Chains A and B, each alone.
Chain A
Amino acid sequence: MTRGARLAEWVALYALSVVVALALASVIVEATGGDWWPVVEALVDGSIMAPGRWGGTLGIAAPLLLVALGTVISSKAGLINIGQEGQLLIGAAVAVYFSFRIGGPGPLNVVVLLLFGALGGAAWASISGLLRYWRGVPEVLSTLLLVFVALQAVGYGLKWQWLLLADEASRGNRNLVSEQLAKDNRIPRPDIFGNEFPITVYVALALALAVAYVLARTVWGFRLRMLGHNPRAAQRAGVSSTVYGASALAIGGAFAGLAGAAMFAGGGFSFGTYRLVPGFSDNIGWTGLLVALLARERALPAVVAAFVFAGLRNGAGFVNSTGVESRITDVVQGLLVLALLVPPAVVFLRDRRRARAAATERV
């Protein structure tokens, strides 16, 4: 098959799957007496078309992308980290704890905040690394279980003033909120064509390029990939699975923690109050993991995937006004992900079948 034909086939397959997914969603809406078309319009309006909306979408895409980049790194080393939700939340909590205690002038404090966010996420992920390489506990299990521990730990921290809870003057009659981040400690949100988004968007993009480069073009990245492809061969070639694996997990956690800190200091969307609250992570960690897996563990496609997911989340805000329950966007999102999984799998299976048939013919 020529290159052009293959590309056309890919495009057709993806288009077909997406159409099927949307058709399914429309059937669900219509069957319950709603109208489908206004929902689509609301989603498009709410994510990019309406004034000021694409900035919001970018603001959500940035933490998703950061989480996804970390996941790409740990997956390349052959590790299955599914605990980003917890690593993100712990990162945010650690960032909050230290930024209010260290203080310092505006821009410096932002750097401190992001740094401690990354450290917190890395530390949380390193628990799994420790358990993996010291006690042989599979990282896929420990990272998953630690998510729920993290949720409770942060909930606990928000009950006590010596941990995360704001003092009475600042929190008023509210419970379980942290101190509010001072205005000059926030990440700047410059206004571009009527859209504003935190400059962490640029940082996330730059990091995506950096991750792609490091994985593809450096010795460290090569060794990491070698470990992922064939741990035994990597060990023979002098790649310590403990050192490289544990650091890949820690870096993955650092990215998630960075995302958490950036969400806290960056504002926008549902995390716009500059306060840490229970449920602050708001599924950004889980969704970021999906972004990475959907981009098949590559850094640059993750940029696109992150934007699409952010668009769906941001667009959901407009759906309620159509009279259809906005929960339908979760359904649309789920169906889309499942649909996007089909084309690569179909092509992969067919190519294998063909190769096998060709191999039998030769015999």
Chain B
Amino acid sequence: MLIDFFSAVGDVLSSESTYINGALFAALLAFAATGEWVAERSGTLNISVEGMLLSGAFAGILGYHLSESIVVGLVFGAIGGLLIAAVQAEMSHRLTADQFVVGLTLNILVFGLVGFLDREIEPQALRASTVEIPVLVDIPLFGQALFGEPWPFYLLYGLVPLSWWLVYRTRWGLELRAAGENPQSADVSGIDVNRRRRQSIYYAGFTSGLGGAYFLFARIAAFDDSVIGGQGFIAIAAVIFGGWTLWGTMAGCVLFAGALSFQLSLQGLGYELNTELLQALPYLVTIGAMAIFAKRVRPPAALARPFIRGLK
């Protein structure tokens, strides 16, 4: 029995489909987490990322429905994410409304709105074609998962380095990090703190919207309101798990997506793992990592603290 189980684990680990599935989920998380990471570095805990993903997914399929083009679908997806970002950013960092009220409300609002519109419009779409990168795709195990994906996947190879460059190598990024670490000082040196935070939320909306649309075109090409199903919160967990570094965040995405894909593949072979534990794993691992490294890894000092000049 136990030997059977281990050989099943071996089968799962040596089958390409595990990695292909893992890459699918990891990419979704990475799209969302890279934007969320930028937002959190500016000191705003953007919990509407779930809503942004869902909005992007629905806008994506709507775009395809209207134009029959996946490119248009992706553009729509990005716009869908940006719309949610606009509400989140303008309400919480211009009008000084509470960021959690806005974020939670947006999640509920988007969930209701896409569910409503989906029933009324019933859009359809097609899967994006896969593009195989020659030579690299022949790498055993990982090749297909990393270099033989539906083409929107490859946007990540540009988006993630772009986020890194923006945050660490531009003046804008420096100001953004200052807004996240010490908004008072940033303000004194002439940085418009809330403006940087708004911009970072827009960036998160852009990447998450793209991610939602990507997921739809890469996976099932049919919309349903549970398609994102909490992955936005896992993306937030990945940022925290990564200790607010980009590479740590990406490692979190790969780890959490890997665990999910591993569990799904084992289920496919008829082995029932403790699904609850595996589903809770991203959160438990993140809490554990925070508790262990809390003294060494610090969140941006002003994370989730609103900045209003002259107050606090």
Residues of chain A having any CB pair with chain B under 8 Å:
28, 32-34, 80, 82, 131, 135-138, 140-142, 144-146, 148-149, 152-153, 155-156, 159, 283, 286, 289-290, 293-294, 325, 327-331, 333-335, 337-338, 341-342, 345-346, 348-349, 352
Contacts and interface: CB of A to CB of B under 8 A. Distances in A.
A97 B291 CA distance: 29
A80 B115 contact: no
Given A136-B295, A149-B283, A348 B277 contact: no
A32 B62 CA distance: 14
Given A32-B121, A349-B96, A135 B294 contact: yes
B112 A327 contact: yes
B233 interface: yes
Contacts of A327: 112-113, 115-116, 119
Q: Please name the 6 residue pairs, one residue from A and one from B, whose CB atoms are nearest each other, closest first.
A: A330-B112, A334-B109, A152-B280, A156-B276, A345-B95, A32-B120
B294 A148 contact: no
Interface residues of B, number: 49
A329 B104 CA distance: 16
Interface in B98-128: 98, 100-102, 104-106, 108-109, 111-113, 115-117, 119-121
18 contacts: A28-B116, A80-B304, A82-B104, A131-B291, A137-B291, A140-B45, A141-B240, A144-B233, A289-B100, A327-B116, A330-B111, A334-B105, A338-B109, A341-B95, A341-B97, A345-B91, A345-B95, A352-B310
B101 A294 contact: yes
A330 B108 contact: yes
B91 A142 contact: no
Contacts of A337: 101, 105
B119 A325 contact: yes
B279 A152 contact: yes
Given A290-B101, A341-B97, A333 B108 contact: yes
A331 B116 contact: yes
A338 B112 contact: no
Contacts of B97: 341-342, 345
Interface in B69-117: 87, 91, 95-98, 100-102, 104-106, 108-109, 111-113, 115-117
Contacts, number: 140
Contacts of B45: 140-141
A353 B40 CA distance: 29
Contact of A144 (B47, B120, B121): B47
Given A138-B303, A156-B276, A131 B290 contact: yes
Main secondary structure of the interface of A (DSSP, over half): helix
Interface in B118-140: 119-121
Interface string B223-239: 00000001001001100
A293 B120 contact: no
B283 A338 contact: no
B189 interface: no
A286 B113 CA distance: 18
A33 B276 contact: no
A307 to B, nearest CB: 18
A328 B96 contact: no
A138 B101 contact: no
B95 A342 contact: yes
Given A286-B104, A293-B101, A330-B113, 10 more contacts: A32-B117, A135-B292, A135-B294, A137-B291, A140-B45, A325-B120, A330-B112, A330-B115, A338-B109, A342-B91
A132 to B, nearest CB: 10
B116 A148 contact: no
Given A341-B101, A341-B102, A331 B112 contact: yes
